[in-house]
Structure 1
């Protein structure tokens, strides 16, 4: 059996050193999203939101959240960020967006909103 190629790699801009690498299969929603202070990063892998602390890339996943059917994730801007997770309509169940605090990612959502007949969603990141 072949080992999967690590095709998503993070490098230090100051030293050029590779800090961490991942195997990324999806062509959509694959990007790492960083907080303004770059103290945290998140990414969506299958149905799991993975949280990292870039200062300690070697320690791997700092926090994770498993959501069946998650297809998009977005990290809000600002000093106290939240994570929005989108689950599309499936088998008659409405689509839902759930909002989690970044510091309590594996806890209960702070709020959620359901939508009917929604297959895709666009998150806009704006600072007010």
Structure 2
């Protein structure tokens, strides 16, 4: 098999890995911005902050300290991945789960709320109230 040959199944699997890597990189970048700005002074490094925010463990005291920034962090992650991924659906779901409204997502992506529903309908279904 030649180097450049890849089955559609292999391409799909590898594309998923690339998308996961893009999401991880965006989370780290957003965590760096968070710690350089509004969360400056928190005793945590960017990778740990990204991991803590991604995990959303209410029993982790570090999450308690970072949870205030969860929604804006998720929206910045979405903004970053939307520029490089054809389907930023995972970031849309994540932002939605962290409290972002459809209007927040629309503003972040520079589209209308109807555009969000049209493009990401399955990702922005109503979430249950806490």
TM-score normalized with structure 1 length: 0.25
Which is higher, the Rg of structure 1 or of structure 2? Answer: 2
- Higher relative contact order by CA 8 Å / sep ≥ 6: 1 or 2? 2
Higher share of residues assigned helix:
2
TM-score normalized with structure 2 length: 0.25
